[in-house]
Structure 1
Amino acid sequence: MTLPQGRDFQPPWPLTSGHIQTMLSSSGVRRTMLPRSAYRVLEGAQEVMVDGGEGIRLTGSFTPQKKQQVSRGLAVLFHGWEGSVDSTYVLQTGSRLLDDGWDIFRLNFRDHGESHDLNESLFHSCRIDEVVHALGDIAQRWPARVMALAGFSLGGNFALRAAMQAPVKGIPLQYALAVCPIIDPSEGLFSLEESAPWFYQAYFMNKWRRSLRIKQKAFPHVQYFELQELKQNLRGLTESLVLRHTDFGSLEAYLDGYSVAGRALAQMQIPATILTARDDPVIPVTAFEKLELPSSIELDIATYGGHCGFIRGWDMTSFCDEYIAARFNAIAEGQFPRA
């Protein structure tokens, strides 16, 4: 079975620019220009609460397929940092998989979407246990012949870590795919500060500060940050988060806590794919080139695509939809190539 590869993505100029790809990926312009079919996953979607363990509640959205008599399986989608179940890339991918006969579950991480008031403690990137617990709850409540997972950016990082734990936790996950995942958080943080254009850090910081203001309003009796701390840059505010709200003790220990760099994925027991782009201005490609991966993990580095873009043309649709759907369908049909 021939699957699409990153090298197949050859967009027209000026979409050969990683910056244009990245800026368009989550832009309002793209959301407006996408065809209606990109939002089909919203039709008949059921808003649900899932169990994150230890009293933690996470929100999500389940959409059953209606294309065929028997579902291909359950596709679970993870958004990126400060995204949500309604992020454009999540909706578009979910809609494509729905058309292919998959049931779709889109999960919100803690403090994402409209969920800030559900859990008093703040979200941070090392909260993998609650995401894995939620994945187990999803698998039990919506049992399927096949369960596959895809995540984007930070969601891709979560997807890889969840896939590492799934067999041990008895979660029947059979495949994971990560698009432009954060590999080495310390490198990613340095990249946003030192080599990426200033507006990327400004974009993420504006979204994060807005989220923290919503959180503060939801729990007025808790002082999450001092006003001066909120005015810090990405590194400074992240360090304040670590020292105030985690047990890591240092920024470096926290960043190591969710790193999947080096040999961190060497014991992966299920097949997985990592798709990234050489021109991604947010996650340095060198982090991917340094990975030491088992034969069960496919690493695919495209020339173009930016950060979670892979936009094919002016209809704003994404090559990722075809890429993810082809691999999910191959897993469902037992035709995914194995080393």
Structure 2
Amino acid sequence: MNLPCGKDFRPTWPLTSGHVQTMLSSSGIRRLLLPRAARTVQEGAEAVMVDGGNGVRLTGAFTAQRSRPQARGLAVLFHGWEGSVDSTYVLQTGSRLLADGWDIFRLNFRDHGDSHALNEALFHSCRLDEVVLALADIAARWPARPMALAGFSLGGNFALRAALQTSRLGIPLSYVLAVCPIIDPSEGLFSLEEAAPWFYQAYFVRKWRKSLLAKQSAFPQHNYFELTELKQNLRGLTESLVLRHTDFQSLQGYLDGYSVAGDALQAMQIPATILTARDDPVIPVGAFEQLRLPPNVELDISDHGGHCGFIRGRDMTSFTDDYIAARFNAVADGSLR
């Protein structure tokens, strides 16, 4: 089986820079330059609400394929932190898989997209149960098989953690792929503070504050944060979230709560792939190199690609589209087990 690998991604200058890749990955310029084919997953998409259990409602979008008599399977896509079902990388991947004959479900996490008014409690990264239950609802309502899952950044972290739970709950997930997932949240936070250029932390904090203000507007009777707390840096605001809105007693306990570092993935029961880039300025490659993985989990580290970039050239399309499609199609054909 000849599948694309990270070493096959060989961009030319200036796309050999991890910072250029990262900044372009979610830029407005990229969205403008993308070919129309990268947005076809939005055409005819059905806006839906899924059950996250205990009254939790999550939003998403389902698009049925029309290129084959029968779908290859169901592809579920998870966006990154403060992204949405309409993030550029989600649209690109969804459109490519749609063209290959997959039905597509794009899921919004709590408080992402335009869903701030649906659930009173705030999103945080340890809210795994509602995502797993949403997967169960999706699998029951759209029964095309096989069912494969791909996630990006924090969405990749959620995808890996969810895949560890699906067998126990009888969710028929066949394969999971994570692009630049958060492995050790503690190390990632430290890297953003100490090693990454200042503008990455500023970018994430600005987007998070905007989201928190949208949440406050949706529930004006609820005092989520004091104004002084909203002015803190990423670490300070995260710690305020933990102490105010979770059951964790410390920031470190919360960060450990969604870590998949070390041997955490040894329990993975299905085939899985982790793709990352050595030049990712957001998530240090060292955490990937220290993973202890079972034989069914593939770790693929490219020299280039930045954080969820892997942009090939002027058309702003991503190497990850072909990478994900090749592996999903191999799952559907029975050649990836």
Fold similarity call, TM over 0.5? yes
Question: 2:265 — aligned with what?
Answer: 265
Pairwise CA distance, 1:133: 0.2
Alignment of 1:140-179 (within 5 A): 140-179=140-179
CA–CA distance in structure 2, aligned partners of residues 173 and 280 of structure 1: 28
Pairwise CA distance, 1:145: 1.9
1:187 aligns with 2:161: no
Question: 2:281 — aligned with what?
Answer: 281
Pairwise CA distance, 1:121: 0.1
Give a deviation string over 1:66-119, Cα, whole Å, max 9, x none: 000000000000000000000000000000000000000000000000000000
1:121 aligns with 2:121: yes
1:139 alignment partner, SS class: helix
Pairwise CA distance, 1:308: 0.1
CA–CA distance in structure 1, aligned partners of residues 183 and 128 of structure 2: 15
1:233 aligns with 2:222: no
1:41 aligns with 2:41: yes
Question: 2:26 — aligned with what?
Answer: 26
Aligned residue type for 2:252: E
1:171 alignment partner, SS class: coil
Give a deviation string over 1:142-167, Cα, whole Å, max 9, x none: 00120000000000000000000000
Give a deviation string over 1:189-226, Cα, whole Å, max 9, x none: 00011000000000000000000000000000000000
CA–CA distance in structure 2, aligned partners of residues 128 and 273 of structure 1: 20
1:8 aligns with 2:4: no
Pairwise CA distance, 1:53: 0.2
CA–CA distance in structure 1, aligned partners of residues 193 and 79 of structure 2: 23
CA–CA distance in structure 2, aligned partners of residues 174 and 18 of structure 1: 32
Question: 2:201 — aligned with what?
Answer: 201
Pairwise CA distance, 1:282: 0.1
Aligned residue type for 1:201: Q
CA–CA distance in structure 1, aligned partners of residues 332 and 40 of structure 2: 22
Question: 1:253 — aligned with what?
Answer: 253
CA–CA distance in structure 2, aligned partners of residues 110 and 43 of structure 1: 24
Which segments of 5 or more consecutive residues in structure 2 lack a partner in the other structure? none
CA–CA distance in structure 2, aligned partners of residues 156 and 76 of structure 1: 12
Question: 2:325 — aligned with what?
Answer: 325
Which segments of 5 or more consecutive residues in structure 1 lack a partner in the other structure? none
Aligned residue type for 1:253: G
Give the share of equivalent positions with the same residue, in percent: 78
Alignment of 1:213-228 (within 5 A): 213-228=213-228
Q: After the TM superposition, which parts of structure 1 deviate over 6 Å for at least 4 consecutive aligned residues?
A: none
2:294 alignment partner, SS class: coil
Question: 2:77 — aligned with what?
Answer: 77
Question: 1:136 — aligned with what?
Answer: 136
CA–CA distance in structure 1, aligned partners of residues 224 and 136 of structure 2: 30
1:53 alignment partner, SS class: coil
Provide the TM-score with structure 1 as the length reference.
0.99
Aligned residue type for 2:159: A
Provide the TM-score with structure 2 as the length reference.
1.00
CA–CA distance in structure 2, aligned partners of residues 105 and 38 of structure 1: 16
- CA RMSD in angstroms comes to 0.4
Question: 1:296 — aligned with what?
Answer: 296
CA–CA distance in structure 1, aligned partners of residues 194 and 245 of structure 2: 26
Pairwise CA distance, 1:228: 0.3
2:163 alignment partner, SS class: helix
CA–CA distance in structure 2, aligned partners of residues 191 and 59 of structure 1: 32
CA–CA distance in structure 1, aligned partners of residues 246 and 35 of structure 2: 43
2:275 alignment partner, SS class: strand
Give a deviation string over 1:234-277, Cα, whole Å, max 9, x none: 00000000000000110000000000000000010000000000
